[in-house]
Structure 1
Amino acid sequence: MLLFVLFRLQLIVTLLLHFGSMIELPPWTDIVKGGKLKELPPYDPDWYYIRAASMARKIYLRGGLGVGAFRRIYGGAKRNGSRPRHFCKSSGSIARHILQQLQNVYIVDLDTKGGRKITSNGQRDLDQVAGRIAVAL
């Protein structure tokens, strides 16, 4: 459980480097917004891989997270012009596609209680990545 100790950003960047070759980038990533609350697509060209690493980490720590949970986690305030801001969920298709990609590389699997859970191979890989970061620190 080294993931609790490490800095989130370092872990996500390392997971990006580790799992980036396994996860294929869909062709629509350069034009899609993160949800109806966003006005522009992300500036970072690696945003899809960073989101995938972040989702793998969150499933490792919590477990049982599904598309709806990730829509709430990555949601935010929608700007309504002169009217007040309100919370809005993020895109469900992005979360669904990333979860399917993580499932194809055997990092996560369907949970019987709902959502996704980390597999033994995924837990091993995430622990190895976290161990390498801990040694480097």
Structure 2
Amino acid sequence: MRVLSPLLLIVMVAFLSSCKKDNSLDSLDHVILKREGLLRVECSNCEVRYQVNSKDYKVGIDQGSNDMAFYYSGDFALVTEVLSKEEQKIRVLVVDAFGRVVSNELNKWSAGERRKKTFEINIK
């Protein structure tokens, strides 16, 4: 028994010292994680143009609403331009990646009216 106790102690110390701590997140420190925000426009017969980090997008909406995801990795300004092709009420909803409502506007628009708006998106 006297021989087995030190031997058991040596095996346990060797086993515990050989275990590595899981550092799987250490390899991700160079990666930029993108966040996903949401631009929702509720209208009938309208056109939406928006700009995310100098990239332009264009979406036509016939009826109802359209959800447009936008991706970002830092603070930026979301630039939107909506063209109403008929008289109607239009809702423009902007939600950031954290679920915070940046804007939720419902306004009456006349036919042919075009509105350009800039929304500040922050990651903090």
Asked if Structure 1 and Structure 2 have the same fold, meaning a TM-score greater than 0.5 normalized by the shorter chain, the answer is no
Instruction: Report the TM-score, using the length of structure 2 for normalisation.
Output: 0.23
Q: Which has the higher contact order (CA 8 A, sep 6+)?
A: 1
In our comparison, the structure showing a higher alpha carbon Rg is 2
Structure having the larger proportion of residues in strand: 2
**TM-score, with structure 1 as normaliser:** 0.22
